[in-house]
């Protein structure tokens, strides 16, 4: 099990182990919901795409059912 998934394993034992990058991700789906919680702000560090944020959003949309929902939560240290 990847180290990044270990904290959630006891809570979500059946959740898929997803790769740490979305480029070329092989996951089952499509899904009703996809969540980016504390993920999108780091896209540039893990993507070589010209527009890494757009690339991540497009990858997420490919894994959604028609009418599915994408939830994006961005860290906001300043409370703005």
pTM over 0.75: no
Give the whole-angstrom CA distance, residue 49 versus residue 54.
Answer: 9
- Six token digits for residue 7: 């904290």
Q: Output the pLDDT for position 45.
A: 85
Q: Output the pLDDT for position 48.
A: 86
Tell me the pLDDT tens digit for each residue of 15-63: 555 555 555 566 777 889 888 888 888 888 888 889 999 988 998 888 8
């Amino acid at each position: 099990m990847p180290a990044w998934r270990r904290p959630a394993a006891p809570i979500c034992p059946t959740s898929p182990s997803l790769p740490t990058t979305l480029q070329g991700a092989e996951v089952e789906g499509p899904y009703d919901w996809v969540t980016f919680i504390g993920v999108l702000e780091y896209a540039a560090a893990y993507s070589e795409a010209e527009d890494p944020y757009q690339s991540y959003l497009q990858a997420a949309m490919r894994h959604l059912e028609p009418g599915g929902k994408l939830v994006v939560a961005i860290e906001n240290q300043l409370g703005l």
